[in-house]
């Protein structure tokens, strides 16, 4: 049974196949990015243990599995019961026809299932295996469980995030996506080396270390001085104003950042406060920084009487870096995003439509794209097992009956 696939002519990763054993968000975001680039991504799932993000979350008011839909579009879905001996063998056959294998279980799980890196090398010498975990495949904390907020916490990012008079603000989705993006870049590097040398390798991605890579300046400061700056809210040392300000309407905000005197002059013109240019409190960058709280208060009084859209146009006209703080609805309806294809409408085989996030890059010759709806569990069993592995229908039915395909 074949599948209806839209043409992927000239996509950068056309012809690359990925065996995707990732779950939750960080690992699936890695393979999602590769699928957007044209890789054929086969997501391996099981009825016994579906990806937790495939399940709806009514307690959060979300009856559709939006978290799963975001990172599963463009992918294929097959069912393999990895705890069944014949299922494990089936998984090895899928990996044997793949270029890259990605997984995001705790260290040791893949070895116990018989598809750790050493075992995979025996069936496909040049396989690139990408393992995404909280703390990495080695070290004393290798078996620690972890989700997005813990990544930033253990990587030191949380202590730098939040307001100085409040607790750490642990990062959530950005940590999953940052880890996934890092894993995708590393996977491509290993794949291109494989193309040059014919040698595969195991890529070990620690989400904790990804978070730590974001605080390099703090680590360097500590090494040089014995201390590092703590939480600073929206402050950036030396820049003022640098904050979000309330606008007309409920929960409407605009972000304004001034780095240069020319931008400061533009802000004073837009506000009709040119007298601030000679005000000793604000005439210099140092003065604006020292008096930033008073400055923020005065700007807030001005912004709250206008809409964020009008303020954005006015401030940008005067050369000020300013933009509305968008909600999801704003992004979906934004004319600029739609014109660039950053937000795209998808249609399911049943005719249902929804908006989806498109590719965050533009290639002049080999564009990536989001093309297909989120796959149903096991939707592509016949294509992968039948067409790709060459299994007879009778064998597929036997494995379904035996719950190896389940």
What's the average pLDDT block by block, 10 residues per block, for the chain (406 residues)? 51 96 94 96 93 70 71 94 94 98 96 95 96 95 86 85 86 89 98 97 96 86 82 90 97 97 98 96 96 97 97 98 95 92 88 88 89 92 97 97 96
Let me know if 176 is a catalytic residue.
yes
Instruction: Let me know if residue 272 belongs to a domain.
Output: no
| Number of domains the chain is built from | 1
Residue 278 has what pLDDT? Answer: 95
Our CA angle for 335, 341, 347, nearest 5°, is 105
CATH number for position 44: 3.40.50.10540
> How does pLDDT run across 232-249, given as a tens digit for each residue?
889 988 899 999 999 999
Instruction: Let me know if residue 235 belongs to a domain.
Output: no
Instruction: Let me know if residue 162 belongs to a domain.
Output: yes
Instruction: Let me know if residue 249 belongs to a domain.
Output: no
Catalytic residue among 51, 176, 204, 371: 176
Instruction: Let me know if residue 127 belongs to a domain.
Output: yes
For residue 93, the enclosing domain spans 17-214+367-401
Instruction: Let me know if residue 85 belongs to a domain.
Output: yes
* Distance of alpha carbon 329 from alpha carbon 343, whole angstroms: 11
Q: What is the pTM of this model?
A: 0.90
Instruction: Let me know if residue 233 belongs to a domain.
Output: no
Residue 335 has what pLDDT? Answer: 92
Long-range contacts of 6-13 (CB under 8 A, 24+ apart): 6/371, 6/372, 8/38, 8/371, 10/365, 10/366, 10/367, 11/37, 11/38, 11/366, 11/367, 11/368, 11/369, 12/37, 12/38, 12/363, 12/366, 12/368, 13/37, 13/38, 13/39
Residue 9 has what pLDDT? Answer: 62
Residue 12 has what pLDDT? Answer: 94
Instruction: Let me know if residue 263 belongs to a domain.
Output: no
b/e for 221-233, b at 16 or more Cβ within 10 A? eeeeeeebeebee
């Amino acid at each position: 049974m074949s599948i209806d696939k839209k043409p992927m002519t000239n996509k950068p990763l056309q012809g690359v196949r990925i065996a995707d054993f990732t779950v939750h968000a960080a690992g699936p975001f890695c393979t999602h990015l590769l699928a957007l680039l044209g890789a054929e991504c086969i997501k391996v799932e099981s009825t016994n243990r579906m990806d937790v993000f495939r399940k709806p979350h009514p307690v959060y008011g979300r009856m559709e599995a939006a978290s799963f839909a975001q990172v599963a579009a463009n992918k294929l879905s097959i069912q393999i019961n990895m705890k069944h001996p014949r299922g494990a063998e089936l998984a090895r056959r899928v990996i044997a026809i793949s270029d890259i294998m990605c997984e995001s279980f705790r260290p040791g799980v893949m070895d116990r299932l018989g598809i750790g890196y050493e075992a995979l090398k025996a069936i496909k010498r040049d396989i690139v295996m990408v393992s995404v975990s909280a703390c990495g495949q080695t070290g004393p904390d290798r078996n620690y469980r972890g989700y997005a907020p813990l990544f930033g916490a253990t990587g030191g990012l949380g202590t730098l995030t939040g307001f100085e008079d409040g607790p750490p603000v642990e990062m959530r989705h950005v940590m999953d996506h940052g880890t996934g993006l890092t894993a995708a870049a590393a996977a491509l590097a290993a794949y291109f080396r494989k193309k040059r040398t014919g040698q595969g390798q195991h890529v070990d991605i620690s989400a904790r270390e990804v978070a730590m890579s974001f605080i390099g300046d703090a680590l360097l400061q500590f090494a040089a001085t014995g201390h590092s700056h703590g939480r600073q809210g929206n402050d950036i040392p030396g820049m003022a104003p640098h904050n979000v300000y309330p606008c007309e309407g409920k929960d409407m905000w605009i972000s304004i950042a001034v780095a240069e005197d020319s931008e400061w002059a533009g802000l004073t013109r837009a506000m009709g406060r040119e007298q601030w240019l000679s005000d000793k409190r604000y005439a210099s960058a140092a003065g604006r920084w020292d008096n930033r709280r008073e400055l923020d208060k005065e700007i807030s009084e001005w912004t709250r009487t206008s809409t964020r859209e009008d303020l954005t146009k006015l401030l940008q006209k005067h050369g000020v870096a300013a933009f509305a703080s968008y909600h999801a609805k704003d992004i979906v309806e934004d004319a600029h995003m739609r014109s660039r294809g950053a937000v795209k409408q998808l249609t399911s085989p049943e005719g249902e439509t929804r908006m989806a996030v498109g590719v965050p890059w533009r290639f002049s010759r080999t564009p990536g794209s989001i093309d297909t709806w989120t796959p149903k569990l096991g939707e592509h069993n016949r294509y992968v097992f039948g067409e790709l592995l060459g299994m007879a229908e009778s064998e597929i039915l036997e494995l379904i009956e035996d719950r190896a395909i389940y």
